[in-house]
Structure formats: C-alpha cells, structure tokens
Amino acid sequence: MSLLELRKLNKHFGGLHVTNSVDLTLQAGEIHCLIGPNGAGKSTLFRLILGEHHPGSGDILFAGENITVLKSFARIHRGLSVKFQVPGVFKGLSVRQNLEIALQSRHRGAELESEIGRLLSFLGLESEQAQIAGNLSHGQKQWLEIGMAVSLKPRLLLLDEPTAGMSPEETHMTGEMVQRLNADGMTVLAIEHDMAFVRQVAHRVTVLHLGQVFAQGSIDEIVADERVAAIYLGQAHA
C-alpha cells in the first residue's frame, strides 16, 4: 500500500524550476533515501510535502487523501513528522521542556512524565534533561529533534540530513535508531549525503537531479548506475 504519493509536482522560484514534474511513491513500512547533488531540489521537495511551500501544480496524496492544500500543522495531525537539516530544537528551553512541548498534546499528568522519561532514555539524554537545549552538542541536538519528531508517533517520518555533522560512530547509532523506529512500523523518508548511512538503512533510493527524479532502485543498483556516478557519486569521489 502506498503511504505517500507525489504526482507531477512542480515548483518554480521565479525562473528557476526547482521541482520539475516529480512522481514519487512511498510504500508503507519502507525506509526510502533521497540523494542528489546540492541544488537537486531535495529540501524543496520536503518543504512541499510539509506544506511550507505550495506547488505550482501537481498533487500530494497521503494515505489516499489529497493534502496538497492543507496547512502544515494539519498535515502533522494526519501523521507526518520532520527533523530539519539545521537542528530545530527550542534552544532557550531545557531538554525536558523540549520533549514536554512535543508530547503534551497527546499525554497528560503522570502519563506525560513517564513518556518524557521513556523518550529521554531512548535518546540517551537522561543526564542532560535539565540542560538548556542550545548548550547540547550538535549530535545531541540532532537526536533531541529526532526524539521530538518521533514522539508524535508519525506514520511517515521525514529526516533532512539526520547525520550531518556527526562522527562515523554517531552516524551508525543514528542508523540503528532509524531501523528500530522502522521496525516499530514507521515509514521513513530521509535526505542523506552519507552513503554509509544510506547503505545501512535504505530499502530503496531515489536520486534527484535538477529537480527531477533521475534514477530509482536499491542502493546496489544506484551505485552500479554509471549515469548516477557521473552526476553524483563521481563528483563525490573526485
């Protein structure tokens, strides 16, 4: 069953055609990675899915419902959630308060307390709970934001470069975290440059180039594709 379906999605910024007739279908339960060189239109595609940008034409279907004109918060209510590229935590508030804000619309009282505790241990941030989120390390901020996004128990989790700025060890741990979430039934769409991470988690990979779907398949098929190597991997290894 397809969970997310993008149909002929277009987005222009002035004369710049950032998203060019993109068709993309995500099956429920898969981990799908979106790769492509800088400027390929990956982040714009995320913003279209989230309702931060509105497409010039085309449709976005989520679980069979057309959500193209829905406001962002309403899409979140439908079961979407996101972790941004730049860590989007509430910097001036404590780690605990960050999680409380994420969880409070679903839980109250003692249940809220225990959910916060559970999430803190899932993220390995128990000893940092009283700290101001702005003082966390970059990797910890990324995890905190993933935790906030996950706390909504979304059907589809969007991750924009979840391992950016992380050490190889942190990257691997993040991959395991994503796999655990997926095992619990969460569908994941991730933008990622780190090929080790993509190899670790991706069931399917889509390559975007100049706003268009350039190639699609398993990571081995993508790596073996010479055209992809020419536009992306070739540059990456140069």
Partner 1 sequence: MTGLVAMFRRLEGPQTVGRGPAFWGLFAVVLAVALAYPLFSDGYTVGNTVYFFVWVFIALSLCLIWGYGGSLSFGQTAFFGIAGYGYGILTINFGSAYGFTLVALVAAVAIAALFAVLLGYFMFFGRIAGVFLGIVTLAVTLMLERFMAQTAGPEWHIGVARLNGFNGMSTMPPLTIPWPGEPIVLFADVGLYYLVLGLLVFVYLALRILMNSSFGNVIVAIRENPERAEMLGYDVRKYQLITFVIGAALAGLSGVLYTVWGQYITPSSMGMTAAALPLIWVAVGGRSDLTSTVIGTLVVLAAFQALTIYGSQYALVFMGVLLVLTVLIAPNGLVLGVMNWLGRLAARFTQRTG
Residue ranges that bind partner 1, judged by CB under 8 A: 50, 52, 71-73, 76-77, 81-82, 84, 88-94, 97, 100-102, 104-105, 145, 148-149, 152
Nearer to partner 1, 23 or 52 (CB): 52
Q: How far is the CB of 52 from partner 1 (least distance, A)?
A: 8
Nearer to partner 1, 99 or 207 (CB): 99
Q: Phi/psi at 100 (nearest 5 deg)?
A: -60, -45
Angle at 45 between CA 33 and CA 154, to 5 degrees: 65
Q: How far is the CB of 118 from partner 1 (least distance, A)?
A: 18
Q: How far is the CB of 13 from partner 1 (least distance, A)?
A: 17
- The region that residue 51 occupies, defined by phi over 0 for left and psi between -120 and 50 for alpha, beta otherwise, is left
Find where tokens 């706390």 sit: 151
User: For residue 3, what are its two tokens?
Assistant: 């969970």
Nearer to partner 1, 64 or 92 (CB): 92
Nearer to partner 1, 152 or 166 (CB): 152
In 3D space, the residue among 18, 2, 27 whose CA is nearest the CA of residue 58 turns out to be: 18
Residues 96, 130 contacting (CB under 8 angstroms):
yes
CA torsion 20→50→54→68, rounded to 10°?
90
Nearer to partner 1, 151 or 206 (CB): 151
Q: How far is the CB of 159 from partner 1 (least distance, A)?
A: 12
